[in-house]
């Protein structure tokens, strides 16, 4: 999965959860992105001790989430 695909996948997973809570689609997307960024930040804390390939992959995923 490319970083772009992973970023979209994470956002869509959280978007699905937020649709049950919020009523405004823009708020749902914002909330899903924020949740995705929190998840990636947590992964990066662990991936820091992993290979550069994994760490760099999640850095790219985070950048793609921020661009979406």
User: What per-residue confidence (pLDDT) applies to 67?
Assistant: 95
pTM above 0.95, yes or no: no
User: What per-residue confidence (pLDDT) applies to 21?
Assistant: 67
pLDDT in tens, 10-65: 999 998 887 766 567 778 889 999 999 999 999 999 998 889 999 999 999 999 99
Mean pLDDT of all residues in 3-10:
95
- Picking from 37, 47, 46, the residue whose alpha carbon sits closest to that of residue 14 is 37
User: What per-residue confidence (pLDDT) applies to 34?
Assistant: 96
Could you tell me the two tokens for 1?
């999965």
Q: What are the sequence ranges of the domains in the chain?
A: 3-67
């Amino acid at each position: 999965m490319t970083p772009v695909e992973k970023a979209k996948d994470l956002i869509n997973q959280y978007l699905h959860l937020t649709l049950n809570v919020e009523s405004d689609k823009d708020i749902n997307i914002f909330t899903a992105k924020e949740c995705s960024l929190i998840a990636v930040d947590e992964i990066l804390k662990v991936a820091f001790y992993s290979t550069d390939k994994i760490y760099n992959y999640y850095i790219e995923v985070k950048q793609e989430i921020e661009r979406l």
